[in-house]
Amino acid sequence: MKDLIIIGSGPAGWTAAIYAARADLHPLVFEGDQPGGQLTTTTEVENFPGFEHGIQGPDLMTVMKKQATRFGTEIVSQRVDALARNDDGTFSVTVKGEVHQARAVILATGATAKRIGLASEQALYGKGVSACATCDGFFFKGKEIIVVGGGDSAMEEADFLTRFASKVSIVHRRDAFRASKAMQDRVLQNPKIEVIWNTEVADILGVDVGRVTGVMLKSTVDGTTREMKIDGVFAAIGHTPNSDLVKGMLELDEKGYVQTIPGTSKTMIPGLFACGDLQDAHYRQAITAAGSGCMAALDAEKYLGGI
Ligand code: NAP
C-alpha cells in the first residue's frame, strides 16, 4: 500500500511529486502515454518564471522530472487503465492488469489536442496533417501550410512553422483572434504569415494519393467554397480534458473537466485530488498547472496526516 499515487507527468504531476516526495510520502508517478505532457510538443516557453531567457518545453519537463526523482519519486512509464475506490476508502490503480494500492491519488492527466473531425484529416494524419508543429515542422521545409485556429496555440504554431515553411496561412473561423495581444502581434508582423479570416476547412484533399495536396475552404459568412493548394495542415483548435479514467466516478462539467471544491484540489471523493489542465478550462498555463500540483500535494499530505 503506497501513501500516494500520482497519475500524469506534466507540470502539475511533477510539481505534486516534488512536494509529496519532499514531504516523505514516497509518491509513485505513472507517466502515461505522453511523458511530460503537452509541453513536450511545444517549443520556447518564455513565460515560466525562473527562466529569464526562456526554456524549451521538453527541457522544462526533463528538469522537473529530475527534481522529482532527486527526492525519491518512483516513476513508472505506463498508462493507467483503471481507477477504483475500495470499500475501506483506499484506491486501486490498474496498470496492464497489475493492481497498485494507495491511500490517496492525485489526478494530473491533463488535456489532449482536439481534431477538426474530418474523415480526410484522420486518413491523412501523419501524411501532411499534424497537431504538433514541434514534432513535424521539420518535414515541411520550403512547403506551404495552413494552421487552423485563432488561439495562442495557433499563433505559436504558425510562428514556429515559419522557420521551415515558405508560407503559413492561418485559417480562422471568425474575424478576430482569441489569442493574447502579444502573440497576435508577433504573427501579424511575420511576413511569412497570411491570415484567412471567416473561413473553415471543409475538407482536406489528397486522400487518393496518400498525402495532403490541398484543402477545401468554406466561408463562414456566405458558405462559398474554394480549393487551396497546400502541403500540410496543422490543427491548433483547443483541447479535451483527459478525464475518461474518472467518468462516472467524479462530477465533470459539460466539457468533461473534473470539478474540484473551489480554492482546493479536492474532488468530492475523500483522498482523490485533481490538478492541472484536467480541472482547469480557463487558465491552462504551465505555471498554473504547476501551482495546482503543489496545492494537490499539500492537500494530500494533510489528508494522509489526518489533519
Ligand atoms: P483556445 O484558446 O481554446 O483556442 C482554440 C481556437 O480554435 C479558437 O480560436 C477557436 O475558435 C478555434 N476552434 C475551436 N474549435 C474549432 C473547430 N472545430 N474548427 C475551427 N476552429 C476551431 O485553445 P489554445 O489556443 O490551444 O489555447 C488554450 C490555452 O492555452 C489558452 O488559455 C492559451 O492562452 C494557452 N496557451 C498559451 C500559450 C503561451 O502563452 N505561450 C501558448 C499556447 C496556449 P473561436 O475563437 O471562434 O472559438
Please tell me whether residues 127 and 229 are part of one structural domain: yes
Strand locations in 156-224 (E): 167-171, 193-196, 199-205, 214-219
Residue at a domain's end among 197, 213, 235: 235
User: Residues 3, 59, 132, 294: which is the catalytic one?
Assistant: 132
Closest by alpha carbon to 206, among 168, 170, 233, 179? 233
77-110 pLDDT per residue, tens = 999 999 999 999 999 999 999 999 999 999 999 9
Is residue 150 in contact with ligand 1, taking CB distance under 6 Å?
Answer: yes
Give the residues across from 144 on adjacent strands: 167
At 1, the amino acid letter reads M
State the CATH number of the domain containing residue 259: 3.50.50.60
User: Residues 24, 33, 81, 135: which is the catalytic one?
Assistant: 135
Is residue 178 in contact with ligand 1, taking CB distance under 6 Å?
Answer: yes
Please tell me whether residues 15 and 34 are part of one structural domain: yes
Residue at a domain's end among 201, 218, 235: 235
Residue at a domain's end among 235, 262, 290: 235
Is residue 38 in contact with ligand 1, taking CB distance under 6 Å?
Answer: no
Closest by alpha carbon to 207, among 233, 181, 241, 244? 233
Question: In this prediction, what percent of the chain has a pLDDT beyond 70?
Answer: 100
**What's the CA gap between 145 and 167, in Å, rounded?**
6
276-307 pLDDT per residue, tens = 999 998 888 899 999 999 999 999 999 999 86
The domain in which residue 226 lies consists of 115-235
The reported pTM is 0.78
